[in-house]
């Protein structure tokens, strides 16, 4: 009976690895432990790639956690630079960290950003009993007294959640952004708890993080930071409509090794577009609170370059980088 454990483990390992153990199979690296956003991206997209016959063998998912994605990034640059059968899950966190030199000496141009196929739109949220009814109320209060509003978010100071209110305030002409109070807690739900509890006055996060609290009536969403209103949440205005030209979405996508040919790069871009257009992916997005956001190929690379430049500038202003 005591031997049941190893047997079960071996058996399950075989089941788990049974998909795609052959050497030439396409590989997707999720630079985090199983269960997170990057892992989800790899597993869902990997499955759809095979279902749509865009790759001839099941995609093998490798989890490589460490350094907030930095370990995987350095590994790809140093060991797999010309591998055409490799994609790596990425998101806004990847570009934010690259912009802030959080991956050691790594630079964004060492890999090629090949496509985003969905996004979790940013939101600015207050407690249901908050005096702030619109984004303008909140912005004006900060302009009058920057100390009167503290934001809570799920990322570290200087992270993506921190950047969202700063971008809005800059768009509103408020330049003294180092005065804005921000605390980085463990995840979006924790940030909401602090805000509903009255310890902070506003929460900055992703749409998917706030849906449950929105339904229960604990919070009010002042603005969603997407280009258009989000399907299913048509009553939430965008920041743009309220006069603040800010789009901040947590995109889900991939980069590929920097040393592959343009032809190989474009092949991946086409495959990702096909995934983005598939019904299976549309269902996966709806289930996980993602909004449509498709940018692939050179288009996406240019957009990423702009985002990184912008993040770098903001990070320098708030002192996260020199």
Partner 1 sequence: MDILSNLALGFSVALSPWTLFLAVIGCFLGTIIGALPGLGPSNGVAILIPITFSLGLDATAALVLLTSVYYGAMYGGRISSILLNIPGDEPAMMTTLDGYPMARAGRAGEALVISGVASFVGAFLATVALALVAPYLARIAYRFGPAEYFALYALAFATLGGMTSNNQAKAALASFIGLALALIGLDNNSGFTRFTGGNLHLADGIDFLVAIVGLFAVSEVFFFIESHGRESALGVRLGKLVIPWGEIWSTRWTMLRSSVVGFIAGVLPGAGASLGSFMTYMMEKGIAGEKGGFGTGVAKGVAAPEAGNNAAAGGALVPMLTLGVPGSGTTAVLLAVLMTLNITPGPTLFADRPEVVWGLIAALLIANFVLLLMNVPMVRIFVRVLTVPPAILLPGVTMISFVGIYSLSGSYFDLLLMVGFGVMGYVFRKMDIPTVPVILGILLGYQMENNLRHAMTLSGGDWTYLFSSPIAIGLWVAAILGFVAPMFLRRFLRRPSVAEADRIVD
280 binds partner 1 (CB under 8 A): no
Cα(308)–Cα(165) distance, integer angstroms: 17
Instruction: Identify residues 39-78 at the interface with partner 1 (CB under 8 A).
Output: 40, 63-68, 70-71, 74
Q: Which is nearer to partner 1, 57 or 242 (CB)?
A: 57
Sign of the alpha-carbon dihedral angle for 73, 306, 254, 212: positive
Can you tell me which of 34, 131, 232, 243 binds partner 1, judged by CB under 8 A? 34
Cα(100)–Cα(29) distance, integer angstroms: 22
Q: For residue 67, how many other CB atoms are within 10 A of its CB?
A: 16
91 binds partner 1 (CB under 8 A): no
Smallest separation, CB 265 to partner 1 (Å): 27
Number of residues that bind partner 1 (CB under 8 A): 64
Instruction: Identify residues 179-218 at the interface with partner 1 (CB under 8 A).
Output: 181-187, 189-190, 192-194, 196-200, 208-209, 211-213, 215-216, 218
Task: Spell out, one character per residue from 142 to 161, where the chain touches partner 1: x when CB under 8 A holds, - when not.
Answer: -----x--x-----xxxx--
Cα(224)–Cα(124) distance, integer angstroms: 7
Q: Which of 250, 260, 311 is nearest to 110 (CA)?
A: 260
Q: Which of 319, 317, 320 is nearest to 176 (CA)?
A: 317
Scanning the structure block, which residue is given the tokens 């009976």? 1
233 binds partner 1 (CB under 8 A): no
Can you tell me which of 54, 102, 203, 314 binds partner 1, judged by CB under 8 A? 102
User: Residue 212's Cα: distance from chain center in Å?
Assistant: 19
288 binds partner 1 (CB under 8 A): yes
Cα(191)–Cα(189) distance, integer angstroms: 5
> In the chain, how many H helices and how many E strands?
11, 10
Binding site residues, partner 1, CB under 8 A: 1-2, 4-5, 8-9, 12, 15-16, 18, 33-36, 40, 63-68, 70-71, 74, 100, 102-104, 147, 150, 156-159, 181-187, 189-190, 192-194, 196-200, 208-209, 211-213, 215-216, 218, 287-289, 315, 320
């Amino acid at each position: 009976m005591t031997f049941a454990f190893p047997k079960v483990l071996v058996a399950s390992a075989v089941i788990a690895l049974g998909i795609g153990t052959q050497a030439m199979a396409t590989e997707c690296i999720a630079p985090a432990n199983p269960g997170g956003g990057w892992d989800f991206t790899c597993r869902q997209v990997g499955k759809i790639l095979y279902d749509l016959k865009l790759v001839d063998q099941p995609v093998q998912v490798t989890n490589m956690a460490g350094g907030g994605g930095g370990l995987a990034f350095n590994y790809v640059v140093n060991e797999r630079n010309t591998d055409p059968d490799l994609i790596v899950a990425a998101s806004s966190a990847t570009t934010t960290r690259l912009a802030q030199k959080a991956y050691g000496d790594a630079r964004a141009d060492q890999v090629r950003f090949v496509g985003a196929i969905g996004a979790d739109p940013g939101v600015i949220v207050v407690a249901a009993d908050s005096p702030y009814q619109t984004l303008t109320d909140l912005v004006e209060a900060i302009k009058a007294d920057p100390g009167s509003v503290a934001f809570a978010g799920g990322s570290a100071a200087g992270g993506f959640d921190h950047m969202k209110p700063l971008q809005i305030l800059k768009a509103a002409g408020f330049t003294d952004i180092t005065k804005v109070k921000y605390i980085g807690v463990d995840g979006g739900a924790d940030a909401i708890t602090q805000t509903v509890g009255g310890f902070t006055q506003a929460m900055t996060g992703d749409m998917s993080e706030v849906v449950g609290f929105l339904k229960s009536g604990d919070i009010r969403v002042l603005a969603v930071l997407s280009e258009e209103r989000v399907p299913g949440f048509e009553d939430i205005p965008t920041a743009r409509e309220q006069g603040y030209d800010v789009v901040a979405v947590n995109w889900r996508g991939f980069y590929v090794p920097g040393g592959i040919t343009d032809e190989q790069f474009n092949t991946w871009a086409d495959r990702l577009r096909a995934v983005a257009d598939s019904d299976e992916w549309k269902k996966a997005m709806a289930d996980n609170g993602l909004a449509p956001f498709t940018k692939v190929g050179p288009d996406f690379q240019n957009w990423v370059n702009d985002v990184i430049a912008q993040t770098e500038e903001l990070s320098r202003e708030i002192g996260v980088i020199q």
